[in-house]
Homo-oligomer: A and B are copies of this chain.
């Protein structure tokens, strides 16, 4: 199932790719080697840097080596909706591989290391390697499953449930990649960003978080989320990690 023996020969960018794809399926030595051949342009970015802009015609996909990214859409009146956030090791930007118009912006939320891969190269590899194709496709479908959970949250969950669900999801998603402490994970979003992600107001996010803390479910120290009552937190939003399609959910 998940990671990873000796990718020591690989650089960090393709190592990220290989590990991620290994976590959602089986990757052969050959395929891994082919992935390592991909030309990747690596780049470090600061906080809140737009990487690919809404309205653009994308020619590259972005893979996240370290840090956190988000996708967001700006509405004419200036309001914004964050569509998803992505943690280190994920490949957030396959969504545009076969689309010719960016309906959203891809941006960093903390200082991050990213890798850009030309669509041309990616498509070539996909044509040549059916199994890599399947894994990458699967990655985009899992992405879509996460979108669906957002729809459910925004449509039919209360503020408390939304926040609880998000915290659960972030915790589980980060455990796949890193190997963090059993009861904590990073939460790099400001309350303003949480508000834009959860379709709530800043003030209400603040009060909802206070509620969860008051009930002894979680603690927030700086950018760290400490979970005191995992069972309880799951119950808040009836969180079920099955939609993440992990072989070994926490």
**B148 engages A199 (CB within 8 Å):** no
**B141 engages A73 (CB within 8 Å):** no
Range of interface residues on chain A? Answer: 35 or more
Interface stretch (choices A5-13, A208-216, A218-226, A237-245)? A237-245
In the assembled complex, the Cα of A138 lies from the Cα of B96 at a distance in Å of 9
**B101 engages A148 (CB within 8 Å):** no
**A83 engages B141 (CB within 8 Å):** no
In the assembled complex, the Cα of A71 lies from the Cα of B149 at a distance in Å of 13
Kindly list chain B residues whose C-beta atoms are within 8 Å of the C-beta of A147.
Answer: 144, 147-148, 151
Kindly list chain B residues whose C-beta atoms are within 8 Å of the C-beta of A127.
Answer: 130
**A151 engages B83 (CB within 8 Å):** yes
**B154 engages A155 (CB within 8 Å):** yes
* A229 in contact (CB, < 8 A): no
* A156 in contact (CB, < 8 A): yes
**B103 engages A243 (CB within 8 Å):** yes
- Whose C-beta in chain B lies nearest to the C-beta of A77? B238
Interface residues of A (CB under 8 A from B): 71, 73, 75-76, 79-81, 83, 95-101, 103-104, 123, 126-127, 130, 133-134, 137-138, 140-145, 147-152, 154-157, 196, 198-199, 238, 242-243, 245, 248, 250
